[in-house]
A and B are shown apart, each in its own frame.
Chain A
Amino acid sequence: MKNSEVDTIFSKEDAAILEEVMNIAFGKASSDLARVIDIQIMLNAPQVEILKTEELMRWIKQDTESYKTLSMIEQNFWGKYAGTAILAFPSAASKKLISLFEDEDEPFEADNPLLERETLLEVGNILIGACVSKVAELLDDDQVSFSPPRLIPQVVVDNLSGANISPKFDDPDKMAILMKTIFHLQEKDVKGFLFMIASDDSMKWLKTALQNFMAKF
């Protein structure tokens, strides 16, 4: 999608409504995560930006420059609302994230990289699933399906590029709607970012869904 097309399709006003929708959705997601799965997570007020893929990487770098290396969990979602979600956190915080699901009766075996990787993917799967589903549900009662999550470990922040994450972010001119929030797992003292990048195909739907959402009030 070209820059001009996005401008006509997705306005700043739309972005502001989307921020509001995300705010409500993330509030519901964090309360359900606490109630059902016992994960105490704080999700900051989200920010929505319309930008080029090239700028997207600059944004992520800028947000994460205080971390030396970054680990990311990437998961594609599809439905009327489709795109890619990325949960980014400092690599050094991996152990803390893993301990979210540590069973007191059965502590994790030390130095089991396979188990560690799968537990991080599980954490990502649950957090991304909760947030994406709530946004889709609130907008148009849409049902989203997910592809298996993928772990991108230990990326040096300075070397971060679209190609590190996915070939679809390798086109510098491609436009994306970036939805960003900071997540904070209070008990574990872990902070990171959740980025949701809507696909080209879902932009039209997103705009209509936002208008329909506003029409309810």
Chain B
Amino acid sequence: MILNQILDNIDWGLVIIDREFKVRYWNRWMALHSGIPSQEIRGSSILDFYPHFQNKKFIRNFKAVVTFGNHYFFPQKLYGYMFPFRPDGNFVSEINYMQQSCTMGPLRDEKKVIQYVYISVKDVTEAYIYETNLASALLTLLEKYVDKSEMPASEAQSILEELLPVSGQEILAKHAKPQKDKDTHALIGDQLVEILSEIATSNR
């Protein structure tokens, strides 16, 4: 009983599904953020409510969890979110969906046989917005220095690569254009615009 109260009061989402994908537990956090009450979803397949889980990657990793007892991690940087929930009121103007970091792992019965899989859901929207704003402020600042010729573009580029989180660097790499087409100064400006537009249009 106390355990149930804890699970219903923690600031995390917790879902338990069985080997047939049927929801066995849906904590209060999930009910509040999804708008789906526990009694409505319990006993139904999670694939009926969230059909986007019906993909090879999810099914493959679900099988790995129930077969080997693996854990699988859904990092925010790649997935953005697993469950399409509205973000908390403070972030509604900045982002469409709550950013989540999720983990899927095994649950065993008393004979140690894996019967269920849990999915924990952590809201990381605040950290994501903070990181994004920080990256954007850094880029603006560097662009200003380069514009005023107070810093060589190459140095700005190095700072950018060193300080931006890995995902930011990968976005940079993805969008980098051949240097012969543009001078480095213009390149940094372009990358700034592209990174910001990537963030703005990521629809997360």
> Chain A interface (Cβ within 8 Å of chain B)?
29, 32, 36-37, 101, 103, 111-115, 117-118, 122, 125-126, 129-130, 133-134, 137, 141, 143-146, 148-149
Interface status of B180 (Cβ within 8 A of chain A)? no
- Select A29's contact among B68, B106, B170, beta carbons within 8 Å: B68
Interface centre among B60, B68, B112 (most CB of A within 10 A): B68
> Chain B interface (Cβ within 8 Å of chain A)?
56-57, 60-61, 63-64, 67-73, 75, 77-78, 105-106, 108, 112, 167, 170-171, 173-174
B167–A129 CB distance below 8 A: no
B66 nearest in chain A by CB position: A36
- B201: shortest Cβ distance to chain A, in Å? 16
Which residues of chain B have C-beta atoms less than 8 A from A141's C-beta? 112
A144–B78 CB distance below 8 A: no
A102 nearest in chain B by CB position: B56
- Select A126's contact among B61, B167, B173, beta carbons within 8 Å: B61
B170–A113 CB distance below 8 A: yes
A118–B78 CB distance below 8 A: yes
- Select B68's contact among A111, A122, A129, beta carbons within 8 Å: A129
A contact face: mostly helix, strand, loop, or mixed:
helix
**A115/B63 contact (C-beta < 8 A), A133-B68, A134-B68, A143-B112 known:** no
A101–B68 CB distance below 8 A: no
Which residues of chain A have C-beta atoms less than 8 A from B68's C-beta? 29, 32, 126, 129-130, 133-134
B73 nearest in chain A by CB position: A148
The 6 A-B pairs of least Cβ separation, nearest first, read A129-B70, A146-B71, A148-B73, A133-B68, A113-B170, A130-B68
Which residues of chain B have C-beta atoms less than 8 A from A130's C-beta? 64, 67-68, 70
A145–B61 alpha-carbon span in the complex (Å): 15
A125–B72 alpha-carbon span in the complex (Å): 7
B contact face: mostly helix, strand, loop, or mixed:
helix
- Select B71's contact among A103, A113, A114, A129, beta carbons within 8 Å: A129
Residue pairs across A and B with Cβ atoms less than 8 A apart, 13 shown, are A29-B68, A32-B67, A36-B63, A37-B64, A113-B173, A114-B170, A114-B174, A126-B61, A126-B64, A129-B68, A129-B69, A130-B70, A145-B71
- A24: shortest Cβ distance to chain B, in Å? 15
- A47: shortest Cβ distance to chain B, in Å? 23
Which residues of chain A have C-beta atoms less than 8 A from B73's C-beta? 125, 148-149
A113–B71 alpha-carbon span in the complex (Å): 23
Which residues of chain B have C-beta atoms less than 8 A from A144's C-beta? 69
- A106: shortest Cβ distance to chain B, in Å? 9
- A199: shortest Cβ distance to chain B, in Å? 18
A117 nearest in chain B by CB position: B170
A125–B103 alpha-carbon span in the complex (Å): 13
A130–B66 alpha-carbon span in the complex (Å): 11
Interface centre among B64, B75, B112, B173 (most CB of A within 10 A): B64
B75–A148 CB distance below 8 A: yes
B167 nearest in chain A by CB position: A114
B63–A37 CB distance below 8 A: yes
A38 nearest in chain B by CB position: B60
- A131: shortest Cβ distance to chain B, in Å? 9
A77 nearest in chain B by CB position: B71
A143–B174 CB distance below 8 A: no
**A111/B174 contact (C-beta < 8 A), A101-B60, A143-B108 known:** yes
A113 nearest in chain B by CB position: B170
